[in-house]
């Protein structure tokens, strides 16, 4: 069932409000997906982004969608085919590095809430004009970091962001302190080596620490 841009953006905002950090996950082995999701959700991070950068991504989304209390989305959406594949795999939302007319239309047609990427005021304004007021600020650090996002927020206070790209435990609180930031995306809560070794308890601990960053 299709949705309007306004509904897509509102639903994305509701998900972003569930926790201060959205884990950005690059999964190499789908067998690790479900226990990884369980660890992150148990640690207090229920909204998960699985990037479509590996052959295991779609299967991982299917597995994670079974985890109670979790909301699994597909990241790195670039084409309408990506959108359709993510939706079919059970993604609850999508995340894109930028935004094109074709990508936005595909998400709306598929009823997939989208966190569309923007790095400049003009990009953010174009998305706002269409009806999106909850965006991804990407690549956050390379685009000027906290000062840049604060500067964009001054003339565009009606737009909120989830900064992603270079966000770490060292700067996450600085991002989260901005009035136009709802949450931030980060990969540090699921280090590749920990995932490979199945160190779920340690990942749950990292998620618990990240969940406290917004307090």
3-state secondary structure 32-97: HHHHHHHHHHHCCCCEEEEECCCCCHHHHHHHHCCCCCCEEEEECCCCHHHHHHHHHHCCCEEECC
192: three-class secondary structure by DSSP: helix
Of the residues 49, 108, 110, 204, only one is catalytic, namely: 49
Of the residues 38, 108, 136, 204, only one is catalytic, namely: 136
Residue 183 near residue 14 (C-beta atoms within 8 A): no
Whether residue 87 lies in the annotated active site: no
Distance CA 111, CA 102 (A): 14
Residues that are catalytic? 49, 136
């Amino acid at each position: 069932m299709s949705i309007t841009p306004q509904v897509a953006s509102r639903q994305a905002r509701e998900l972003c409000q569930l926790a201060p950090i959205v884990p950005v996950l690059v999964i190499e082995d789908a067998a690790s997906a479900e226990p990884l999701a369980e660890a992150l959700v148990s640690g207090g991070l229920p909204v998960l982004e699985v990037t479509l950068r590996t052959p295991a991504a779609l299967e991982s989304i299917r597995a994670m969608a079974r985890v109670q209390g979790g909301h699994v989305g597909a990241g790195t959406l670039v084409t309408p085919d990506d959108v359709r594949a993510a939706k079919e795999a059970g993604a609850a939302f999508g995340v894109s590095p930028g935004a094109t007319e074709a990508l936005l239309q595909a998400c709306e047609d598929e009823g997939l809430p989208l966190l569309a990427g923007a790095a400049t005021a003009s990009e953010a304004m174009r998305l706002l004009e269409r009806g999106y007021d909850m965006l991804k600020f990407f690549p956050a650090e390379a685009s000027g970091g906290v000062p840049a996002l604060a500067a964009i927020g001054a003339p565009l206070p009606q737009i909120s962001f989830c900064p992603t790209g270079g966000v770490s435990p060292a700067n996450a609180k600085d991002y989260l302190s901005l009035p136009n930031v709802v949450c931030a995306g980060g990969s540090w809560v699921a280090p590749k080596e920990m995932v490979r070794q199945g160190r779920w308890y340690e990942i749950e601990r990292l998620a618990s620490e990240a969940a406290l960053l917004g307090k």
